[in-house]
A and B are shown apart, each in its own frame.
Chain A
Amino acid sequence: MKTKIRNLAVFVCICSVITLLLAVTNFITAPIIEENQNAAANQALMEVMPDAQGFEVVDISTLTLPATVTEVNKETSGLGYVIKLKTAGYGSDMIIMCGVTNDGVVTGAVCLSSNETLGKEKTYGENFKDKDAAGVESVDIITGATKTTEAYKNAIKDALNSVVILGGGSVDIRTEAEILADNLSAAFPDGEGSFEKMFMVEYLEGIDAVYTATNGKGFVFAVGEQFVGVDTDGTVVTEGVEDATLFTNALAVIKATVTEDIDLTSFPDLAKHVVSAKKTASGNFILETKGAGYGIKGGNEYHPASGEYIIVRVAVTPDMQILDCITVSEAETDGLGDACADESFYGRFAGKTVNDYKEIDAISGATLTTDGYLQAIERAFNAVKTLNGGAENE
């Protein structure tokens, strides 16, 4: 028993001495370690705002900031803010740190972590240094790294907007799609916020675009910045519209539109590339045609998703002008060629004619896709020629 107590006492003594040594070491090193850790955390912040004295984290839980903003650090001497943003790049999320002065000038931007294929994001931030909102807008997107650099640029814009909001100002932080949805709902509240863009098969004088309420109660006509809601009876529901003739006329044209299917069996060569063809009573054609995009030309014959071709729906007048164009299906490369399914691409063809449709800008990094798309449209024009009595000619 005595030995056991003695052993225990020795062990307790050894533990006490070691604990004392640890306490002394901790007393000396703890403040230094804390200082090191703060310095490391501030290093990234200092990198984008070199003149900063120090930073404090701002509580953003009560503020309405752009969704990309994850952290806001205020510079203690009142120089501005360093904002941490998280945005979706091409490969995965990019974490961006951006310094902005109170008067809205970018002091620096770096990408802290990313998994992008080309690595353009590593140096892209340098382009924004010392730029204000207009300057940021003028920074070019890098060809071949469109998604990455576009997301980067939008994040920088979000940082600038955040600083305006933090300074007590107000900024429209809605995306383009949100703005459009809000405009449509305001113009036609009965649409219950659900609208579809109408594929134009008739020329509507003075109208830029038509949106259909998906519940079938009416339409919204877009003319420049103006949105006007009209119900199915032809009553204009949007307030402040003085002359409703433009819209009632357009509605009458839409209601009077009759389409008729064209049988392609007598045009065997045409049927190879034309999926379907329709004709309106006024003589316009609605064609769905195929183009061989990167999927075929790039040597990859297998496309499980939506067939191996790009399929395009085009409405063409008898005098060879495109009324509207939309991508029906495509199986192009994600992040590059699949941009042909975005309205920002196919929307460029409306109003073009047989003579100038090839003048649109190609999709960056996807030349073969663009070629395939143009081929599909060319085939639509050829089909119109043939169906109007010309020789069947490919």
Chain B
Amino acid sequence: MNKNTSASVLLNGILKENPVLVLILGTCPTLATTTTVDGAFGMGIAAMAVLICSNVFISLLRKVIPESMRIPCYIVIIAGFVTIVKMLVQAFLPDLYVTLGVYLDLITVNCIILGRAEMFANKNPVVASALDGIGMGLGFTLALTLMSTIREVFGAASFAGIAIPFLENYKIEFFTKAPGGLVVYGLLIALIYVVTHGRAPVKKSFSCEGCPNAGTCHGAACEKKGAES
């Protein structure tokens, strides 16, 4: 489990390496599904389920999956789990299925899932990968829920579909639209930066270790570039 403890792996995803607010991954579903708390929370849980399953599966097969074939393998695994989650949601939570619409299918190409497969699961044992999936999933869900709470409460004067009477006449519809989403997103990123005193973004994850090409490039290109600049 490298130098990380179980607890730190789990907690990393929630604040320090929050996928949405620190790593800035999964921006598309974040902006699209945060107009309602129900939709955002559902999306978070669905993505978390896929994340845990794919992390565990990829970690189990990390020694079997050939280096040159890893991306197609990851995509097949992730797409398979997304389809499973989709079928389960359609069967048991039909309302959520309607709310999430096409974004449920798009979990397949969610950067967080592919990113964690590439950054973590293929290098770490099963338990740590599962914890990473849970932590990142919780971070994603929490960020989405927080963002959707702000957007729904101020934009539609309701919380999870329950009307807030005293805000009824003070709706700011801007928050329910795409520009409002971007503004809230930006403010939350700033807030996280302030709360973590600007130390949150782990430089390592942004440089070689976080780069999908790290396996083939071994840092040569970046270091060279860094030396030139």
Q: Which residues of A are interface residues toward B (Cβ below 8 A)?
A: 3, 6-7, 10-11, 14-15, 18-19, 21-22, 25-26, 28-29, 32-33, 36, 40
Contact = CB atoms under 8 A, between A and B. Distances in A.
29 contacts: A6-B66, A7-B69, A10-B64, A10-B65, A10-B66, A10-B73, A11-B72, A14-B61, A14-B65, A14-B76, A15-B76, A18-B77, A19-B80, A21-B80, A21-B84, A22-B83, A22-B87, A25-B83, A25-B84, A25-B88, A28-B91, A29-B90, A29-B91, A32-B92, A33-B87, A33-B90, A36-B90, A36-B91, A36-B94
A26 B90 CA distance: 11
A10 B91 CA distance: 32
A10 B66 CA distance: 8
Given A11-B76, A22-B84, A26-B87, 20 more contacts: A3-B66, A7-B66, A7-B68, A10-B65, A10-B69, A10-B73, A11-B72, A14-B65, A15-B76, A18-B76, A18-B77, A21-B80, A21-B84, A22-B87, A25-B83, A25-B88, A29-B90, A29-B92, A32-B92, A33-B91
Contacts of A26: 87
A225 to B, nearest CB: 55
Given A3-B66, A18-B80, A40-B94, A11 B73 contact: yes
Closest 6 CB pairs of A and B: A18-B80, A29-B91, A32-B91, A7-B66, A29-B87, A25-B84
A43 to B, nearest CB: 11
Contacts of A14: 61, 65, 73, 76-77
Contacts of B80: 18-19, 21-22
A36 B92 CA distance: 9
Interface in B51-80: 61, 64-66, 68-69, 72-73, 76-77, 79-80
The CB with the most chain A CB atoms within 10 A, among B64, B66, B88, B92, is that of B66
Nearest to A13: B64
Contacts of A6: 66
A18 B87 CA distance: 14
A175 to B, nearest CB: 40
A36 B98 CA distance: 12
A63 B197 CA distance: 76
A315 B120 CA distance: 93
Interface residues of B, number: 20
A22 B84 CA distance: 6
Nearest to A24: B84
Interface in B163-215: none
Contacts of B88: 25, 29
The CB with the most chain B CB atoms within 10 A, among A11, A22, A25, A40, is that of A25
A11 B72 CA distance: 8
Contacts of A15: 76
A29 B84 CA distance: 10
B26 to A, nearest CB: 22
Contacts of A10: 64-66, 69, 73
Contacts of B83: 22, 25
A21 B83 CA distance: 10
Contacts of B76: 11, 14-15, 18
B69 A11 contact: yes
Interface in B101-146: none
A36 B64 CA distance: 40
A21 B56 CA distance: 15
A6 B72 CA distance: 15
Nearest to A8: B69
A151 B80 CA distance: 50
Contacts of A18: 76-77, 79-80
Contacts of B91: 28-29, 32-33, 36
Nearest to A26: B87
Nearest to A36: B94
Nearest to A35: B91
A25 B73 contact: no
Contacts of A33: 87, 90-91
